[in-house]
A and B are shown apart, each in its own frame.
Chain A
Amino acid sequence: MNVPTMADMMAQGKQPEVLFWVGAAGSYDDRAKKISRAFVKILHKANVDFAVLGTEESSTGDAAKRAGNEFLFQMQAMMNIEVLNGYEVKKIVTCDPHSFNTLKNEYPNLGGKYEVLHHTQFIQNLISEGRLNINDTTLQGKKVTFHDPCYLGRANEVYESPRDLIRRLGVNLTEMKRNKSTALCCGAGGAQMFKDAEKGDKEINILRTEDALETKPDIIATGCPYCNTMMTDGIKFKEKEAEVVVKDIAELIAEANNL
């Protein structure tokens, strides 16, 4: 698929309206790559003039920072800021709430000041600007529950954008008992994604999957590649793969529009 890079754009003397920050998961993780592609399909559908950094993109440093390695985080941040400022980037969209949070909140005082949007906010804007329509009814009547990613929800208080998009799909949105500001973490944040859990009596993703399964959903929707992995693993552990799928909102919209 056509995914222009900032370097290409610059060579042609163009400045795209938005930079798509893909993130490590969206670039390398097989499951998350599908989310990146679904989002690009939406960008194409809405004729958004975008570009990625491609091989010039590097870890935001979020995981390093939350693991306690402030040095590594700031090295990464300053390298990325140099690249972003070099391309005079003004607006960034990302499918990863961790990148979203770090770029939006932790880069500014290191010299990286951008308008940063989560892809659910960006898609919501496309719809309200009349650039994108969700008109298909493929998913009508399906039962969907939304798992709030901590770094989108509590960390940045974005609760409504993802829900607004889900409602537009004509599905039946059912909330889990712990939702929005009281949502339970999937277990991946704070660099937990990259290590085994400490000794306990349960894995966090199993507990959260149980929350989701209580709503008897057809689809568990998320807005984070790491939550997606954790919930997918949870569904496998519960042997519910046949009945329940875990999907990013971008994937649901791409599917609904037959993209």
Chain B
Amino acid sequence: MQYLPNILFAIALIAGISFFVMNIRKLYRNINLGKKIDRTDNQPERWKNMIKIALGQSKMVKRPFSGFLHIVVYVGFIIINIEVLEIIIDGLFGTHRIFLGFLGDAFYGFLIGTFEILAFLVFVAVIIFWTRRNVANIKRFLSSEMKGWPKADGNMILYFEMVLMTLFIVMNATDTSFQQAGIGNPISQFVAPLFDGFTAETLHLIERAAWWIHILGILVFLNYLYYSKHLHILLAFPNTFFANLNPKGQFTNLEYVTNEVKLMMDPDADPYAAPVEGAEEEVPEKFGASDVLDLNKVQLLNAYTCTECGRCTSSCPANLTGKKLSPRKIMMDTRDRLEEVGRNIDANGGAFKEDGKQLLNDYITPEELWACTSCNACVEECPVNIDPLSIIMDMRRYLVMEESAAPQELNSMMTNIENNGAPWPYNQQDRLNWANEE
């Protein structure tokens, strides 16, 4: 029975990690439902972007206040996790503060002291974040797509962090020998007096409870990621790596359209030629995107990476002027639909069963898509290089090329381009008249 805590700990650890890995495999499978896209060129630039933007948070600080607070939480999160390593070793082997022996009083004290200060700063930052989300009336946290689960999700993450930081400090404050040693307790020494008058047994009980809830909380939080918007702490890295490196104004040229246009313009092409053997069975390529499976893998990765901060939406000219379009909602809808498709595949033995729904109309309406000015403000703003515009464009392509469902005025514009080479109904022969006017 002596090893019961060690065994329970090992079971919790293995269960927590296995469940997480299982979900991550599902996430990986879902992203791979997307179309292939080659984003492996120019590796040095890609690594540089990842280091600068994801690791270095360079785009976060463009909004200095929230950017600074985010760096506090981010740095705290990463550094305090070194402590989790000690907790895991202690838990598995029944030791207590095993690193103390290895590292010596001074260095161990410095390390834990740093963690405590960071934990305190994270706690304060998280309180400010909570206030911004719930009290401060910041427009981007109040949009219609942020009602219900997204709002609860955002708050839940903050509560998790508050509780974990508190437990860490309480665990240290109630560790009598640690407090007596007086090393590495710059914050917990002020919390310890709250427990004055408790018996040694009670203190030990509280310390153990805080220790256990802390590590179990971390495992639960790890598994919460997959269900929440918080995946960005992992996916920001691949997302910035695979982001578009071309000028933002450069939209893709659809290759299958190029082939058809070339054929049409080829004077030697035989319009009556019999189709190549086997060509009848080929399903013609679908133009644009009406569902998540028509999007590419990077677009689907974008959807999972989005943490719904809303910087895109708060800079979108259409959204700022009261239109329905919100680039953040485009990303949230894409993820919601992708998860729905994923669950469908799981429920139907590995193959997607037609469910009569798609991303277009059931999630994203044409009204939203047509409100976009393609100005790239959303792409520029995203702290992790998500590209909502590419999804909007792919869906417009579907609307126009598959459904002929452009707004009437755009149809006139396109007819004019076809007939007289300009978006307006002017005669191409008058194209140089401007030179002789005035």
Contacts and interface: CB of A to CB of B under 8 A. Distances in A.
B187 interface: no
Given A63-B417, A204-B317, A198 B371 contact: yes
Contacts, number: 225
Interface string B320-340: 111111000000000000000
Contact of B380 (A22, A33, A110, A154): A154
Contacts of B429: 55
Interface residues on A, range: 35 or more
B323 A200 contact: yes
B241 interface: no
A92 to B, nearest CB: 16
Contacts of A202: 321-322
B249 A101 contact: yes
B385 to A, nearest CB: 13
Interface string B243-255: 0001111110110
A110 B258 contact: yes
A78 B262 contact: yes
B414 interface: yes
A169 interface: no
Interface in B130-158: none
A10 interface: no
Given A64-B414, A192-B373, A54 B257 contact: no
A255 interface: no
A5 B432 contact: yes
A213 interface: no
A115 to B, nearest CB: 15
B435 A63 contact: no
Interface in B399-438: 399-401, 406-407, 409-410, 412-414, 417-418, 421-424, 426, 428-438
B422 A196 contact: no
B414 A67 contact: yes
B431 A54 contact: yes
Contacts of A221: none
B435 A3 contact: yes
B247 A194 contact: no
A155 B376 contact: yes
A202 B371 CA distance: 13
A50 interface: no
Contacts of B438: 34, 37
A185 interface: yes
A47 interface: no
A156 B435 contact: no
A185 B375 contact: yes
A197 B426 CA distance: 24
A235 B108 CA distance: 66
Interface string A66-90: 1111111011101100000000000
Contacts of A61: 417
A146 interface: no
A191 B376 CA distance: 14
Contacts of A63: 413, 417, 423
A151 B323 CA distance: 22
Scoring B246, B315, B432, B433 by chain A CB atoms within 10 A of each residue's CB, the highest score goes to B432
Contacts of A204: 317-318, 320-321, 373
Given A71-B261, A194-B413, A195-B407, A27 B324 contact: no
Contact of A66 (B247, B315, B374): B374
Nearest to B421: A58
Contacts of A201: 321-322
Contacts of B304: none
B372 interface: yes
B396 A184 contact: no
Nearest to A33: B434
B246 A105 contact: yes
B261 A78 contact: yes
Contacts of B412: 194
Nearest to A58: B421
A190 B435 contact: no
A70 B318 contact: no
B423 A59 contact: yes
B393 interface: yes
Interface in B247-287: 247-251, 253-254, 257-258, 260-262, 264-265, 287
Given A27-B434, A72-B417, A194 B320 contact: no
Given A69-B400, A192-B373, A106 B251 contact: yes
A205 B296 CA distance: 33
Contact of B373 (A1, A28, A54, A189): A189
A67 B369 CA distance: 10
A52 B433 CA distance: 12
A105 B432 CA distance: 26
B7 interface: no
Contact of A71 (B257, B398, B409): B257
Contacts of B262: 78
A206 B320 CA distance: 11
A65 B251 contact: yes
Given A1-B436, A204-B318, 7 more contacts: A37-B437, A58-B422, A155-B248, A196-B409, A197-B321, A197-B371, A199-B367
29 contacts: A1-B435, A1-B436, A27-B433, A28-B426, A29-B424, A37-B437, A52-B432, A55-B428, A57-B421, A58-B422, A64-B414, A66-B396, A70-B287, A72-B414, A78-B265, A106-B250, A150-B373, A151-B249, A154-B248, A154-B379, A182-B381, A187-B373, A189-B373, A189-B374, A190-B374, A194-B413, A197-B371, A199-B323, A204-B373
Interface of A: 1-3, 5, 22, 24, 26-29, 33-34, 36-37, 40, 52, 54-55, 57-59, 61, 63-72, 74-76, 78-79, 101, 104-106, 109-110, 150-151, 154-157, 181-182, 184-185, 187-204, 206-208
